[in-house]
């Protein structure tokens, strides 16, 4: 009996051992499965982070939303199609990436202003333009009054900066503007600058301006009355950069004492008469003749949008002239036209 009992006890021990081994193996398999699942999630999250970071870096380098959209769509298309229990964590990572890119986009948009579809121009709100040392408002195409600088204001120092000067349809030089002594009580101008002075160094004359003492054939063929004028100067320039020239004519009839400035398009058709003055509007207290001349007009990009404006000086009997700003683009002329100039003193 003793041998039989011992044999039974050994069999029980063997059964217990086998049972324990089975449970141990089951636990190991369970742990392996859990580790594998966790590893897959960590790997998926790591891959998503790497891919998302790459997309963000690419966007920041190129600063283009379209490029980001393309890259982001590629990222999304490469993600697993089947949802897992860890989908919330994966979506959270994607949302963090998207939020970061949106913030960068908003910051970039707030710092720049797109102008007229130009691929090279970014408008700076601090752009300062001077005409004969006085402030020229270039925010709208219209007849504008030149402004003095309030020399008593703390803000007056912002005009004492380096200017890039232009005269006679070309860049002249760069120089430090100097606040003049008071012209009127508390009012001053900027000295040591050219006729037109701009606070930023960009291509203010992006295309050449040619001056001739004749009338181009395409203009004379379509405007026969030009032959009535005994003095003609023609400015030839591609104002809007579309590859064709426009023409600005300064016409004088010394027999009648009439002069005017006219804009002609690339096909020779008149766009508009810009300004004129007749003999009856000259000063009456002098025998000096006055005709509108080439000195009354500049062609220059004063608002940094790639289109050259017509800057027309309108004389007055006393005080400073006013400036008429005109922009010709895509066959349309913005600004005031048919201005009748007068040197008569108002009574």
pTM listed for this prediction: 0.65
CA distance linking residue 217 with residue 158, whole number of Å? 48
**For the segment 60-116, what is each residue's pLDDT rounded down to a tens digit?**
555 555 555 555 556 545 555 544 445 555 555 556 555 555 554 444 443 433 334
From residue 327, give the alpha-carbon distance in Å to each of 238, 262, 310, 312: 12, 14, 6, 11
Strands of 246-253's sheet, edge to edge? 210-212, 231-237, 246-253, 258-264, 270-277, 339-340
Query: For the packed helices 65-78 and 87-111, what is the interaxial angle rounded to 10 degrees?
Result: 170
Closest C-alpha to 105, from 62, 76, 162: 62
Closest CA to 236 of 221, 222, 258, 217: 217
At 345 the pLDDT is: 86
Backbone angles phi, psi at 2, to 5 degrees: -65, -40
Per-residue tens of pLDDT for the chain, all 347 residues:
455 555 555 555 555 455 555 555 555 555 555 555 555 665 666 655 666 666 565 555 555 555 555 555 565 455 555 444 455 555 555 565 555 555 544 444 434 333 343 433 444 458 999 999 999 999 999 999 999 999 999 889 999 999 999 999 999 999 999 999 888 889 999 999 999 999 999 999 999 999 999 999 999 999 999 999 999 999 999 999 999 999 999 999 999 999 999 999 999 999 999 999 999 999 988 888 999 999 999 999 999 999 999 999 999 999 999 999 999 999 999 999 999 999 998 76
Distance CA 78, CA 72 (A): 10
């Amino acid at each position: 009996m003793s041998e039989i009992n011992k044999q039974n006890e050994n069999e029980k021990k063997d059964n217990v051992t086998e049972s324990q081994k089975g449970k141990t193996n089951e636990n190991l398999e369970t742990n392996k499965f859990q580790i594998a699942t966790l590893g897959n999630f960590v790997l998926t999250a790591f891959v998503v982070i790497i891919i998302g970071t790459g997309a963000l870096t690419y966007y920041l380098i190129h600063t283009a939303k379209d490029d980001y959209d393309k890259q982001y769509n590629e990222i999304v298309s490469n993600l697993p199609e089947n949802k897992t229990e860890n989908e919330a964590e994966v979506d959270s990572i994607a949302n963090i990436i998207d939020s970061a890119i949106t913030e960068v986009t908003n910051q970039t948009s707030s710092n720049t202003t797109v102008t007229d579809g130009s691929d090279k121009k970014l408008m700076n709100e601090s752009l300062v333009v001077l005409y004969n040392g006085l402030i020229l408002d270039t925010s709208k195409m219209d007849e504008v009054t030149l402004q003095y600088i309030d020399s008593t204001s703390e803000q007056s120092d912002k005009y004492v900066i380096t200017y890039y000067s232009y005269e006679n349809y070309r860049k002249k030089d760069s120089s430090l503007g100097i606040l003049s002594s008071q012209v009127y009580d508390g009012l001053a101008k900027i000295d040591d600058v050219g006729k037109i002075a701009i606070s930023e160094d960009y291509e203010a004359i992006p295309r050449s301006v040619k001056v001739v003492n004749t009338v181009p054939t395409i203009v004379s063929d379509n405007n026969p009355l030009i032959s009535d004028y005994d003095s003609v100067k023609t400015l030839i320039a591609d104002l809007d950069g579309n590859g064709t020239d426009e023409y600005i004519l300064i016409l004088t009839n010394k027999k009648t004492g009439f002069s005017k400035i006219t804009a002609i398009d690339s096909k020779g058709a008149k766009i508009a008469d810009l300004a004129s003055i007749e003999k009856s509007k000259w000063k009456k207290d002098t025998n000096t003749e006055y005709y509108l001349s080439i000195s009354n007009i500049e062609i220059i990009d004063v608002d940094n949008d790639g289109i050259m404006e017509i800057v027309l000086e309108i004389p007055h009997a006393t005080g400073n002239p006013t400036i008429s700003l005109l922009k010709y683009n895509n066959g349309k002329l913005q600004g005031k036209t048919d201005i009748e100039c007068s040197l008569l003193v108002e009574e």
